[in-house]
Chain A
């Protein structure tokens, strides 16, 4: 069965760094794009960026470019989302999600991780 399992909830202070993870299993991790989606408390879904673990090709939303870094380690079937200096406004649930079609970026997200809640507070 196909799964994306995300790392656990985090509580951080403003200015701290953070890297959260998303581990894929049950499929060829290098052959499907993995996206990251933010959901702030009580708000809608926001597309942050997407990576192809096969070659680490990455596309960011302009809204998130420079604010986060998306990466992947194909040797352990894991994608990452990281911040170098968190802000209170980064408080949100973060989901990873896999595209439904092999290799193509033009594809809906069919498999979602369970989400990682990030809380940034002094």
Chain B
């Protein structure tokens, strides 16, 4: 199985900050990576597909980059609604594994 490792596990930031979450794959997954946002008690929501594709309806302050084994999710200017847990997921090969999650909290 491909292992996905996110860093950091917890990130403290303020409204207006630019933040970046990193996801590393244990082997190359080309660009077959998605990012999801999950708020407490809620269903995960797709933000980014194929490493950099912005899902319809997702604010443009979210962006994804990377290929191969290293990927980033960047939020250009944090809004109060963005404080949540973020997961990456590879779907290059199956099982499609998730990262362990990054908890983005208010500083």
Contact = CB atoms under 8 A, between A and B. Distances in A.
Interface of A: 35, 37, 44-47, 49-50, 59-63, 95, 97, 100, 105-110, 112-115
A106 B101 contact: no
Give chain B's interface residue range (CB within 8 Å of chain A): 20 to 34
A47 B89 contact: yes
Given A45-B101, A108-B91, A110-B55, 15 more contacts: A37-B44, A37-B98, A44-B85, A45-B44, A45-B87, A97-B44, A100-B46, A100-B49, A105-B91, A105-B94, A108-B50, A109-B36, A109-B46, A110-B46, A113-B43
Contacts of A115: 43
B69 interface: no
A49 B96 CA distance: 8
